[in-house]
Amino acid sequence: MKVAVVGTGYVGLPTGVGFAELGHDVVCIDKDDRKIADLKAGKITLFEEGLEELFKRNAANGRLKFTTDMKSGVSDAGFIIIAVGTPPHPITKEADMKYIYAAAEELAPYISKYAVVANKSTVPVGIGDKVEKIIKTKNPKADFDVVSMPEFLREGFAVYDFFNPDRVVVGTNSDRAVKTVKELYSVFKETPNILFVERRSSELIKYASNAFLAIKIHYINEMADFCEKVSANVYDVAKGMGLDSRIGNKFLNPGPGYGGSCFPKDTNALAYMARNHECDLSLVEAAIFGNDVRKSRMALKVLDAVKDIESPKIAVWGLAFKDGTDDVRESPAIQIVSELVNRNANVIAYDPKAIETAKTILGDSITYADDALSATKGADVLAALTEWQDFKKIPLANLQMRNKRIVDLRNIIDPKVAVAEGFNYKGIGR
Ligand code: NAD
């Protein structure tokens, strides 16, 4: 099947690469000339474990192509996936649909045979209807169905999740679309669990899932704070909770707050939608507020560790919003570093993958180190902000700090080892 993917970012690229690897003919379309030029030249534009190898193989065998030209990308495609951004509006925080509407307008004229237009971007309930209307208006002769096909991949595991999805959710009432979706997924070795529902329900499943996960993270973060007050250990608490199969043991890791391109954006967009429908989502609202405040509190926790030092030098390990990615969108690390800088701290940071993306936000307000050890040289405190596994392997004895203090907001350092090495150690919830 010829598959067109409109938008070649963190979702579109792994999706396009994945379908090419499974044998479909894929064209990835993006309006970003530089991105497409790099991809055409064989240069991958984002970091995801295992993606580069698959990208190179399928670009070389001709099953994966890249273009900025909507016409050549979409013509003859039987499956058109929209994977453009749906960023938050800067003031209202509602999901901004301008890229979705523009993509629909631009692709509509080139639908040349029956096609499923699948919306993989996260969109508010009812946007499928609007996309359908835009395409019908632009190209009244087009033979197509718009389906909702929300993406659930985890950044850092995008390749694994593409080939091993927990479920594929598809929102449609059209039998033809159901048949085409089944054909698209028939190339999987083991056909994924596909849940067909109404389009609007599918659109909401994405928001309901992300909000639930965000609330779960916020809940364990609050429990971690309480553990600190009553000298309990949040890991024991989480283990005891997680053994209950109704609760489960996932997403019970305390930290500096959730971040990334999805949870903050999607919880805000859901809350906005609900307010518009005069529906009270107080749990979602509480998680949004609590998580925002938390990141500032975490910056204060770092500063508290060096309150006796004028112009402290703060070494930061990690800028990405989590390990395994170069994505810094809504990264707690970026917000914490910004607050440290605003309070005149001298920050030197290292991240294995996200230095370049972090520079686009933090610029030269901080210094960037070439490796984790050199970041800590002469520092007054080490703040661990992203849970990169490699940080765990660094012997604390090798750190040449002016003051031996650690604020570990990801609990990646063993407190016993830190204390044995003479560090003043503060973690989260233990
Ligand atoms: P992204 O910003 O990384 O990529 C979007 C791409 O779309 C950009 O390269 C942009 O240039 C391109 N684009 C925008 N308008 C276009 C147009 N008219 N024609 C062609 N290209 C166009 O975004 P992303 O992180 O991949 O997210 C895409 C969507 O998927 C969002 O709605 C997001 O909420 C959702 N989502 C993201 C993730 C994730 O892990 N990042 C997971 C699940 C769902």
Cα angle 101, 105, 109; round to 5: 160
Q: Which residues partner with 346 through β-bridges?
A: 313
Is the Cβ atom of 11 under 6 angstroms away from ligand 1? yes
Q: How much distance in Å is there from the Cα of 323 to the middle of ligand 1?
A: 20
What residue owns the CA closest to ligand 1's atom 6?
Answer: 7
Is the Cβ atom of 12 under 6 angstroms away from ligand 1? yes
Nearest to 4 by CA among 22, 27, 34: 27
Antiparallel, parallel or unpaired: β 194-197 and 405-408 = unpaired
What residue owns the CA closest to ligand 1's atom 35?
Answer: 121
Distances (CA, A) of 371 to 348, 355, 411: 11, 11, 20
Is the Cβ atom of 83 under 6 angstroms away from ligand 1? yes
In sequence order, which residues have a C-beta less than 8 Å from that of residue 267 and are 6 or more positions away?
210, 211, 214, 284, 287, 288
Which residues are the active-site residues? 262
Compute the distance between CA of residue 84 and CA of residue 262 in angstroms, rounded to an integer. Answer: 13
| CATH no. of 199-430 | 3.40.50.720
CB 8 within 8 A of CB 46: no
Distances (CA, A) of 278 to 8, 128, 199, 289, 426: 36, 22, 22, 19, 43
Compute the distance between CA of residue 416 and CA of residue 398 in angstroms, rounded to an integer. Answer: 16
Compute the distance between CA of residue 203 and CA of residue 387 in angstroms, rounded to an integer. Answer: 31
Burial of 87 per CB tally in 10 Å (0-12, 13-18, 19+): middle
Nearest to 79 by CA among 1, 153, 155: 1
Compute the distance between CA of residue 7 and CA of residue 35 in angstroms, rounded to an integer. Answer: 10
Nearest to 24 by CA among 105, 79, 84: 79
The per-residue b/e assignment along 333-369, b for 16 or more CB within 10 angstroms, e otherwise, is bbbbbbbbbeeebebbbbbbbbbebbeeebeeebebb
Domain covering 2-197 assigned CATH 3.40.1390.30 in the classification: no
Is the Cβ atom of 8 under 6 angstroms away from ligand 1? yes
- The pLDDT, as a whole number, for residue 139 is 98
- The pLDDT, as a whole number, for residue 317 is 98
Compute the distance between CA of residue 375 and CA of residue 149 in angstroms, rounded to an integer. Answer: 43
Compute the distance between CA of residue 52 and CA of residue 32 in angstroms, rounded to an integer. Answer: 19
Q: Which atom of ligand 1 lies nearest, measured to the CA of 152?
A: 43
Is the Cβ atom of 312 under 6 angstroms away from ligand 1? no
Is the Cβ atom of 105 under 6 angstroms away from ligand 1? no
- The pLDDT, as a whole number, for residue 162 is 98
Burial of 196 per CB tally in 10 Å (0-12, 13-18, 19+): middle
Is the Cβ atom of 287 under 6 angstroms away from ligand 1? no
Is the Cβ atom of 155 under 6 angstroms away from ligand 1? yes
Q: How much distance in Å is there from the Cα of 396 to the middle of ligand 1?
A: 40
Q: How much distance in Å is there from the Cα of 261 to the middle of ligand 1?
A: 10
Which of 5, 6, 8, 10 maximizes ligand 1 atoms within 8 Å of its Cβ, making it the mutation to test the pocket? 10
- The pLDDT, as a whole number, for residue 110 is 98
Which of 202, 261, 265 maximizes ligand 1 atoms within 8 Å of its Cβ, making it the mutation to test the pocket? 261
Compute the distance between CA of residue 159 and CA of residue 168 in angstroms, rounded to an integer. Answer: 15
Which of 80, 84, 121, 322 maximizes ligand 1 atoms within 8 Å of its Cβ, making it the mutation to test the pocket? 84
Is the Cβ atom of 102 under 6 angstroms away from ligand 1? yes
What residue owns the CA closest to ligand 1's atom 3?
Answer: 9
- The pLDDT, as a whole number, for residue 148 is 98
Compute the distance between CA of residue 32 and CA of residue 68 in angstroms, rounded to an integer. Answer: 7
Which of 38, 151, 326, 331 maximizes ligand 1 atoms within 8 Å of its Cβ, making it the mutation to test the pocket? 151
Q: How much distance in Å is there from the Cα of 233 to the middle of ligand 1?
A: 39
* Alpha carbon 322 to chain centroid, angstroms: 9
Cα angle 60, 66, 71; round to 5: 135
Is the Cβ atom of 106 under 6 angstroms away from ligand 1? yes
Mean pLDDT by 10 residues, the chain (430 residues): 97 98 98 98 96 98 98 97 96 96 98 97 98 98 98 95 97 98 96 97 98 98 98 98 97 97 96 97 98 97 96 97 95 98 96 97 98 98 97 96 98 97 97
For the chain, domain boundaries: 2-197, 199-430
